[in-house]
Amino acid sequence: MEWEVVIGLEIHAQLATKSKIFSGASTAYGAPANTQACVVDLGMPGVLPVLNHEAVQMAIKFGLATGSEVAPRSIFARKNYFYPDLPKGYQISQMELPIVGEGVLEIRLEDGTVKKIGITRAHLEEDAGKSLHGESPGMTGIDLNRAGTPLLEIVSEPDMRSAKEAIAYMKKIHSIVTYIDICDGNMQEGSFRCDANVSVRPKGQEEYGTRAEIKNLNSFRFVEKAINLEVERQIDVIEGGGAVVQETRLYDSDKHETRAMRSKEEANDYRYFPDPDLLPVEIDNETIEAVRANLPELPDAKLQRFISEYELSDYDADVLTSSRPMADYYEIVVKASGGEAKLSANWVMGDFSGTLNKESTDIKECPVSAEMLGGMIKRIADNTISGKIAKQVFEAMWQGEGDADAVIESKGLKQVTDSGAIEKLVDEIITNNPGQVEQYRSGKDKVFGFFVGQVMKASQGKANPAQVNQILKDKLKP
Amino acid sequence: MHNKTLSELSAALQAGEFSSTELTQSYLDRISSLDPQINAFVTVTQQLALDTAAAADKRIAAGTAAPLTGIPLAQKDIFCTEGVKTTCGSKMLDNFISPYDATVIENFNAAGAVMLGKTNMDEFAMGSSNETSYYGPVKNPWDINKVPGGSSGGSAAAVAARLAPASTGTDTGGSIRQPASLCGITGLKPTYGRVSRYGMIAFASSLDQAGPMTRTAEDAAMMLNCMAGFDERDSTSAQRDVPDYTANLNDSLQGLTIGLPKEYFGEGLDAQVGSAVEAAIREYENLGAVVKEISLPNTHLAVPTYYVVAPAECSSNLSRFDGVRFGYRCDDPADLEDLYKRSRGEGFGAEVKRRIMIGAYALSAGYYDAYYIKAQQLRRLISDDFKRAFEEVDVIMGPTAPEPAFGLGEKSDDPITMYLSDIYTIAANLAGLPGMSVPAGFVNNMPVGLQIIGNYFDESRLLNVAHRYQQVTDWHARTPEQFK
């Protein structure tokens, strides 16, 4: 039988606020355990939450950036359950009235087609702390530094039909939240993670199959692997005559499997009710318009602009706008190069990205600034160096040997454009290779490349290729 | 010394008649000799009190004293006090030393008031007789075989027995007004949001409100001046200026319209209590007030509504007492579930468990709409009753409690009868309105309170109305024989 996969994602984006969503404690990552947890985060008797309005602004930004509805009135609710890293015995979240309502997002698939994915809602909530196992034998430690960190949970419609589509959607959301600066997007630190709801149904069937929820996936690769594994598992279960059970599952990347955590029957009754410690969040049009006015250019708009302003291909524009740091970097390169848009695109997408990947370096921390790369491209464009020599210059810049001009100077890589000097080299080559001269003059045009190579070699690559061509042609004339 | 009101004490301290240290010591002596009879205090902070008093004396000498500088006070053990045990009347918090001060405590500290100690209370403020306390019942200073009311029973008894000139209480369904009535003192529950709830251990967040428990309305005004105000740490506190509550105490009551809800004088009200309240109303007519019968038709829904809303909120508020980070933890837990079950099972008393279970049930899937949502709708109806009434009248009066103090143990096995002790006070909490209880007579030698309910943020008028009555009566000035 042919199966259709149905996927919906719940993405948790940690909002990049300085302090927590309901307390003044810092949200900075990596501090010693329990040093960033104040009495409110510890759930001490008598403490009360106070909403961080920066988190609200960020949620509004997300709503506007995805064309979703921003609720004029939303309500915080308590989700009640016991867990040692949940200090109050309840998580403050939003249930019935979330801050962001329905929206639609377009994703670009590998074959270039565009697909619409529905956003059901996005709501604000606080993160829990962490349980630390194995630090002291027989005991579990609790670190509440993360408790109270603001999260935006973005829930999609079950509109995705493959792991690839799920990844494309997740990358799109990732790109948007980082573009609008509400999340640092760091998946290793857990700032951006997701739960995937996966089900299968016979192709053509309208009704959804029973779904399983895979929890806490914190890399694009894991999402893809986990979904594909889960799809295989569900199909095996059904084809083996069984039925998929509604349950929560965990993806184990070491064992390469998903396994059951708890079934629907074991699921908690969270006893949601409006949190009486917090007032409803009222958002007026004025606030929304003020946020809209400060919204940066979004990925889709930037892509269109790159195509028209820099005359890039759809593909190049798509790659360059996939992340805001990349797009920003490219634009500075173009500017510093004196407007060499195509050459800049080739370099940013080619050697530059390749080196970033090879060295596993973040664009913000890489040793070659956009100004430096642009400066080098300018030297290609004005014939100071050739494209081939540029690779050497780039490598030297990466090694911290200074900007392009300094490297060209110190290594003596300046292109030779003195026609007298080039003529001298050409004369030498012609004199030393009488056989090849004979061949060329008798009509074997292909030999011309040999002469160009010889001249370039003799100049250590520095001779201007166009000049070499011209002078050779003149001198080799019978 | 111990028969003076706050304003008299304040004046005497400023005039140098005695020092705060002497005054504080005199109250500490009274507590040490007399409190064993009534069990009003859980903790007496003797050294802290004397240190604070010494600092207050310097401040008085320097001429920078505030009205409450050097005045000894008793604080209900529901307010977190840094470095001092804060039990909320529960075994669960018997070992809990708060790492921070509640806003109310901070305000009193800034004013230079002296904390004598922490007063006994029903466990987590759940009770109307002070019998649910882990630290044993408080006894009524007018008759030690009777209850003082609750949950702020320790605070009420301490003031009635003159073990403190004034105290603080909290009121979720009547926990300031009912014990004030039963102990013959003055108690004020302000408008919801008037006093910060930060650092006040939550019972039912949408109903809890702190207020003063004093001998006189004037004292209550002085206390409220210090307690009230917006607090950025409490999102539900009101962003409204705080008037000087002592400013209008002597305003004339000529033409004041008093509403008497007929539902407050019907079945269930002790006839003699009813007579005492009627006598008080006649006193008001003598002062120039006009009386009007009104109806609060949804009054009968207040108790059932309250016993869904308050337990629902408490079931969630009390989840943090899990034995993990602070408070009671059972011995040798086998695993996490055992730790939770036994820590909570052993740490909470029966009434607290009953309410947590009622609340968890009311919020659970399939019952939420029938209970919690329905209760919210009824709450609105009850508020609307008052809204309509205040279009016609300035204040509403009636009994605070249906009867005078009952015997210790008399109702402790019958929760429903006990819950009806708050039948006249609960509605003000559901509506968020301010309410007072002032001493208005005695029935069989036990005090009876008159309740005055005002419109939102109309505490000044309540205090004025109570004060004028106290100028022409002396019920509030009487002291139980053994504590004179």
Q: B326-381 pLDDT, tens per residue? A: 999 999 999 999 999 999 999 999 999 999 999 999 999 999 999 999 999 999 99
Contact across the interface for B234 and A48, Cβ inside 8 Å: yes
> How close, in Å, is residue A151 to chain B by CA atoms?
20
Where residue A364 falls among pLDDT bands split at 50, 70, 90?
Answer: confident
Alpha helix (H) ranges present in B66-209? 103-111, 153-160, 177-183
Pick the last residue of a domain from B351, B377, B403: B377
Where residue B259 falls among pLDDT bands split at 50, 70, 90?
Answer: very high
Instruction: Catalogue all structural domains in chain A, each as residue range(s) with its CATH number.
Output: 3-288 (no CATH), 297-411 (no CATH), 419-476 (1.10.10.410)
Distances (CA, A) of A99 to A60, A121, A183, A400: 8, 8, 17, 48
Pick the last residue of a domain from B354, B377, B400: B377
Q: Which carries the bigger pLDDT value, residue A313 or residue A110?
A: A313
**What is d(CA B323, CA B338) in angstroms, rounded to the nearest whole number?**
11
Judge whether B291 lies within some domain: no
Please choose, from the candidates A55, A62, A61, A47, the residue with its C-alpha nearest in 3D space to the C-alpha of residue A19: A55
Q: Do B319 and B217 lie in a common domain?
A: no
Taking chain B, what is the end-to-end CA distance rounded to the nearest angstrom?
11
**What angle in degrees, to the nearest 10, is found between the helix axes of A370-381 and A324-336?**
40
Distances (CA, A) of B449 to A160, B435, B442, B465: 68, 12, 9, 14
Contact across the interface for B319 and A88, Cβ inside 8 Å: yes
pLDDT in the model for residue A301: 93
pLDDT in the model for residue A436: 86
Q: Do B54 and B199 lie in a common domain?
A: yes
pLDDT tens column, A115-135: 999 999 999 999 999 998 877
Q: What percent of chain B has pLDDT over 90?
A: 97
Q: Do B86 and B231 lie in a common domain?
A: yes
Q: Which positions ≥6 away from A223 have C-beta within 8 Å?
A: A163, A166, A167, A170, A194, A196, A217
**What is d(CA A49, CA B317) in angstroms, rounded to the nearest whole number?**
13
Where residue B417 falls among pLDDT bands split at 50, 70, 90?
Answer: confident
Between A43, A45, A48, which is nearest B235 by CB? A48
Judge whether B289 lies within some domain: no
Please choose, from the candidates B474, B455, B451, B482, the residue with its C-alpha nearest in 3D space to the C-alpha of residue B176: B451
Judge whether B407 lies within some domain: no
Contact across the interface for A82 and B340, Cβ inside 8 Å: yes
- Number of structural domains (chain B) is 2
Between A42, A269, A273, which is nearest B372 by CB? A273
**Among A414-418, B131-135, B251-255, which stretch is predicted with the lowest mean pLDDT?**
A414-418
Q: Which helix (H) or strand (E) holds A435?
A: helix A434-441
Selected residue of A273, A275, A278, A282 to mutate for chain B interface (largest B Cβ count, 10 A): A273
pLDDT tens column, B144-190: 999 999 999 999 999 999 999 999 999 999 999 999 999 999 999 99
> How close, in Å, is residue B243 to chain A by CA atoms?
25
Judge whether B42 lies within some domain: yes
**What is d(CA B152, CA B213) in angstroms, rounded to the nearest whole number?**
9
Contact across the interface for A279 and B86, Cβ inside 8 Å: no
Q: Do B127 and B22 lie in a common domain?
A: yes
Contact across the interface for B322 and A89, Cβ inside 8 Å: yes
> How close, in Å, is residue B75 to chain A by CA atoms?
15
pLDDT tens column, A274-289: 999 999 999 999 999 9
Pick the last residue of a domain from B191, B226, B256: B256
pLDDT in the model for residue A109: 86
Q: Encoding tokens for residue A45? A: 């008797």
CA B345 to chain centre: 28
pLDDT surpasses 80 at A50 = yes
Judge whether B143 lies within some domain: yes
Where residue B412 falls among pLDDT bands split at 50, 70, 90?
Answer: confident
pLDDT in the model for residue A422: 84
**What is d(CA A244, CA B208) in angstroms, rounded to the nearest whole number?**
48
Chain A contact for B367 (CB, 8 A cutoff):
no
Q: Do B343 and B223 lie in a common domain?
A: no
Selected residue of A80, A277, A278 to mutate for chain B interface (largest B Cβ count, 10 A): A277
**What is d(CA A131, CA A142) in angstroms, rounded to the nearest whole number?**
5
pLDDT surpasses 90 at B468 = yes
pLDDT in the model for residue A106: 92
Contact across the interface for B80 and A273, Cβ inside 8 Å: no
Contact across the interface for B326 and A45, Cβ inside 8 Å: yes
Q: Which carries the bigger pLDDT value, residue A333 or residue A417?
A: A333
pLDDT tens column, B217-237: 999 999 999 999 999 999 999
Judge whether B61 lies within some domain: yes
Respond yes or no: is residue B33 known to be catalytic: no
Please choose, from the candidates A355, A349, A29, the residue with its C-alpha nearest in 3D space to the C-alpha of residue A185: A29
**Among A290-294, A443-447, B91-95, which stretch is predicted with the lowest mean pLDDT?**
A443-447
Q: Encoding tokens for residue B290? A: 């006009």
Where residue B260 falls among pLDDT bands split at 50, 70, 90?
Answer: very high
Chain A contact for B93 (CB, 8 A cutoff):
yes
User: Nearest residue on chain A to B196, judged by CA atoms?
Assistant: A48
**Chain B CB contacts of A47 below 8 Å:** 198-199
3-state SS track over A62-107: HHHHCCCCECCEECCEEEECCCCCCCCCEEEECCCCCCECCEEEEE
Q: Do B13 and B74 lie in a common domain?
A: yes
pLDDT in the model for residue A465: 81
Where residue A418 falls among pLDDT bands split at 50, 70, 90?
Answer: confident
pLDDT in the model for residue A95: 95
What is the average pLDDT value for chain A, to the nearest integer?
Answer: 92
Respond yes or no: is residue B32 known to be catalytic: no
**Beta-strand pair A114-126/A130-133:** unpaired
Q: From the CB of residue B239, how many other CB atoms can be counted at a distance below 10 Å? A: 9
Chain B contact for A76 (CB, 8 A cutoff):
no
Task: Tell whether the torsion through CA atoms of B303, B307, B313 and B318 is positive or negative.
Answer: positive
Q: Encoding tokens for residue B372? A: 């919690």
Contact across the interface for B316 and A43, Cβ inside 8 Å: no
**What is d(CA B25, CA B108) in angstroms, rounded to the nearest whole number?**
19
Contact across the interface for A44 and B99, Cβ inside 8 Å: yes
pLDDT surpasses 90 at B410 = yes
pLDDT in the model for residue B126: 98
**Chain B CB contacts of A87 below 8 Å:** 320, 324-325
pLDDT in the model for residue A121: 98
Judge whether B288 lies within some domain: no
User: Is the Cβ–Cβ distance between A53 and A19 less than 8 Å?
Assistant: no
Q: Which carries the bigger pLDDT value, residue A365 or residue B46?
A: B46
ω into A19 cis (within 30 of 0): no
Between B232, B235, B360, which is nearest A277 by CB? B235
**Chain B CB contacts of A46 below 8 Å:** 79-80, 98, 102, 198-202
Q: Do B203 and B101 lie in a common domain?
A: yes
pLDDT tens column, B427-449: 999 999 999 999 999 999 999 99
The CATH number covering residue B235 comes to 3.90.1300.10
Q: Do B241 and B141 lie in a common domain?
A: yes
The torsion of the CA quartet B343, B345, B350, B356, rounded to 10 degrees, works out to 90
pLDDT in the model for residue B132: 97
Catalytic residue (one of B20, B98, B175, B237): B175
Please choose, from the candidates B150, B160, B45, B165, the residue with its C-alpha nearest in 3D space to the C-alpha of residue B89: B150
User: Is the Cβ–Cβ distance between B450 and B194 less than 8 Å?
Assistant: no
Q: What percent of chain A has pLDDT over 90?
A: 71
Q: What are the backbone angles phi and psi of residue A278, rounded to the nearest 5°?
A: -125, 140
Chain A contact for B233 (CB, 8 A cutoff):
yes
pLDDT in the model for residue A263: 74
Contact across the interface for B197 and A88, Cβ inside 8 Å: no
pLDDT surpasses 90 at A353 = yes
Contact across the interface for B100 and A90, Cβ inside 8 Å: no
Hey, which residues 385-444 in chain A have their CB within 8 Å of chain B?
none
**Domain extent at residue B343:** 300-377
**Chain B CB contacts of A78 below 8 Å:** 316
**What is d(CA A275, CA A257) in angstroms, rounded to the nearest whole number?**
38
Catalytic residue (one of B20, B98, B129, B151): B151
3-state DSSP helix/strand/coil % of chain A, to nearest 5: 40, 20, 40
**What is d(CA A218, CA A230) in angstroms, rounded to the nearest whole number?**
16
Q: Do B176 and B247 lie in a common domain?
A: yes
Distances (CA, A) of A466 to A418, A424, A425, A471: 12, 16, 15, 9
Respond yes or no: is residue B343 known to be catalytic: no
Q: Encoding tokens for residue B102? A: 């509640």
Alpha helix (H) ranges present in B325-373? 336-347, 350-363
pLDDT surpasses 80 at B288 = yes
Q: Do B98 and B235 lie in a common domain?
A: yes
pLDDT in the model for residue B481: 94
**What angle in degrees, to the nearest 10, is found between the helix axes of A419-432 and A434-441?**
100
**What is d(CA B412, CA B351) in angstroms, rounded to the nearest whole number?**
10
**Among A410-424, A436-450, B39-53, B463-477, which stretch is predicted with the lowest mean pLDDT?**
A410-424
User: Is the Cβ–Cβ distance between B152 and B123 less than 8 Å?
Assistant: no
Q: Please report the beta strands in A304-427, taking only residues with DSSP state E, as ranges in sequence order.
A: none
Helix (H, G, I), strand (E, B) or coil at B155: helix
pLDDT in the model for residue B95: 97
Q: Do B125 and B220 lie in a common domain?
A: yes
Q: Do B114 and B20 lie in a common domain?
A: yes
What is the average pLDDT value for chain B, to the nearest integer?
Answer: 97
Average pLDDT over every residue of A307-314: 94
Q: Please report the beta strands in A269-351, taking only residues with DSSP state E, as ranges in sequence order.
A: 273-274, 281-282
pLDDT tens column, A153-212: 999 999 999 999 999 999 999 999 999 999 999 999 999 999 999 999 999 999 999 999
Distances (CA, A) of A55 to A19, A273, B385, B426: 9, 21, 38, 37
Helices and strands (DSSP H and E) totals, chain A: 16, 15
**What is d(CA B18, CA A456) in angstroms, rounded to the nearest whole number?**
106
Q: What percent of chain A has pLDDT over 70?
A: 100
pLDDT surpasses 90 at B18 = yes
> How close, in Å, is residue B305 to chain A by CA atoms?
16
How many A-B residue pairs are in contact by the CB < 8 A criterion? 97
Judge whether B163 lies within some domain: yes
> How close, in Å, is residue B88 to chain A by CA atoms?
10
Chain A contact for B312 (CB, 8 A cutoff):
yes
Hey, which residues 247-276 in chain A have their CB within 8 Å of chain B?
269, 271-273, 276
**Among A93-97, A204-208, A264-268, which stretch is predicted with the lowest mean pLDDT?**
A264-268
Q: Encoding tokens for residue A395? A: 């490598």
**Chain B CB contacts of A269 below 8 Å:** 364-365
Q: From the CB of residue A87, how many other CB atoms can be counted at a distance below 10 Å? A: 27
User: Is the Cβ–Cβ distance between A257 and A279 less than 8 Å?
Assistant: no
